């Protein structure tokens, strides 16, 4: 399973290891000592049962529910996840990325792979700016791997990977602004995804001119991930424009109907 495989990859990275955080939290908050295997099992079980609420909270910036499953292990993990939201939002984002990957992996998996290729033969998927920054590896360590796994999975099932020209423009502006701030010695405060991106470049001793070079080769780097850049459809063409208010209403209703917090 995607969730289990990615969580295992973080075992040897204490800084970005959710099992390590959970073990420390359970010991300090509840005086419960867990092994790595116990923490992994409890965290994986929580993510499998609470994917939607975790993704919704991190996407919309809403608070996680305070009512947890009374089963002991899940109560501890639920408390831990809420603590991450309050004190370590980057850590919560890691877990939300795993949850997204797990949902997509489960949706794409078919025993007969030939059917998968037929199913996604004419399907194009478009990626946003933050995801592409993660996939390109220009942010905190640990973010790129789940994104690359998703891209490989989608590509293997016949999907067409794409982004719009305005997304490429946003990526270019982020990297160009990072280079400018690095050159000026941080006379202005970075914001949004630039915070982690600047930290990534500076931690590796890269110069502002090198970052500018990366910005110029962005389209080629995306092609290296099998992501094609296509023109953004005009907003006056209603065949390609989604009514945001209506789709928000539909999705909210569907989530309320389908989701039961466990």
Q: Above 80 in pLDDT, residue 112?
A: no
Regarding beta strands 124-126 and 160-164, do their DSSP bridges make them parallel or antiparallel, or are they unpaired? parallel
Higher pLDDT: 13 or 87? It is 87
| 228, 154 Cβ separation under 8 angstroms | no
Return the pLDDT at 240: 65
Q: Above 90 in pLDDT, residue 227?
A: yes
| 137-158 mean pLDDT | 84
Please spell the DSSP secondary structure of 143-194, one letter per residue.
Answer: SHHHHHHHHHHHHHTTPEEEEEHHHHHHHHHHHHHHHHHHHTTSSS---TTH
| 75-92 mean pLDDT | 84
CA–CA distance, 68 with 165 (Å, rounded to integer): 43
CA–CA distance, 156 with 162 (Å, rounded to integer): 15
Confidence of residue 234 (pLDDT cuts 50, 70, 90): confident
H or E element in which residue 230 lies:
strand 227-230
CA–CA distance, 73 with 152 (Å, rounded to integer): 33
CA–CA distance, 237 with 231 (Å, rounded to integer): 13
Return the pLDDT at 172: 95
| 80, 26 Cβ separation under 8 angstroms | yes
CA–CA distance, 95 with 81 (Å, rounded to integer): 9
Lowest mean pLDDT among 28-37, 48-57, 65-74: 65-74
| 237-244 mean pLDDT | 70
Q: Above 90 in pLDDT, residue 210?
A: yes
Return the pLDDT at 11: 44
The first and second tokens of residue 251, run together, are 């999705």
| 182-189 mean pLDDT | 79
Q: Above 60 in pLDDT, residue 151?
A: yes
Whether the model pTM is above 0.75: no
């Amino acid at each position: 399973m995607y969730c289990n495989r990615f969580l295992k990859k973080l075992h040897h990275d204490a800084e970005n290891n959710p099992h390590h955080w959970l073990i420390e939290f359970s010991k300090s908050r509840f005086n419960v000592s867990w092994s790595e295997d116990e923490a992994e099992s409890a965290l994986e079980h929580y993510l499998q049962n609470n994917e939607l609420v975790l993704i919704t909270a991190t996407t919309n910036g809403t608070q996680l529910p305070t009512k947890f499953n009374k089963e002991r292990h899940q109560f501890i993990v639920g408390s831990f996840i809420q603590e991450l939201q309050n004190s370590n939002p980057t850590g919560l984002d890691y877990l939300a990325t795993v949850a997204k990957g797990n949902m997509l992996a489960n949706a794409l998996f078919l025993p007969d792979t030939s059917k998968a290729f037929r199913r996604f033969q004419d399907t194009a998927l478009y990626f946003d700016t933050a995801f592409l920054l993660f996939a390109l590896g220009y942010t905190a360590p640990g973010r790129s791997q789940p994104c690359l796994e998703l891209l490989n999975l989608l590509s293997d099932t016949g999907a067409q990977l794409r982004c719009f020209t305005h997304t490429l423009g946003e990526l270019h502006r982020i990297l160009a602004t990072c280079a400018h701030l690095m050159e000026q010695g941080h006379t202005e405060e970075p914001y949004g995804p630039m915070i982690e991106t600047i930290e990534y470049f500076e931690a590796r001793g890269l110069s502002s001119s090198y970052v500018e070079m990366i910005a110029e080769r962005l389209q080629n780097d995306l092609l290296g991930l099998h992501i094609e850049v296509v023109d953004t459809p005009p907003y006056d063409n209603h065949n390609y424009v989604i009514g945001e208010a209506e789709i928000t209403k539909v999705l909210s209703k569907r989530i309320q109907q389908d989701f039961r917090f466990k």
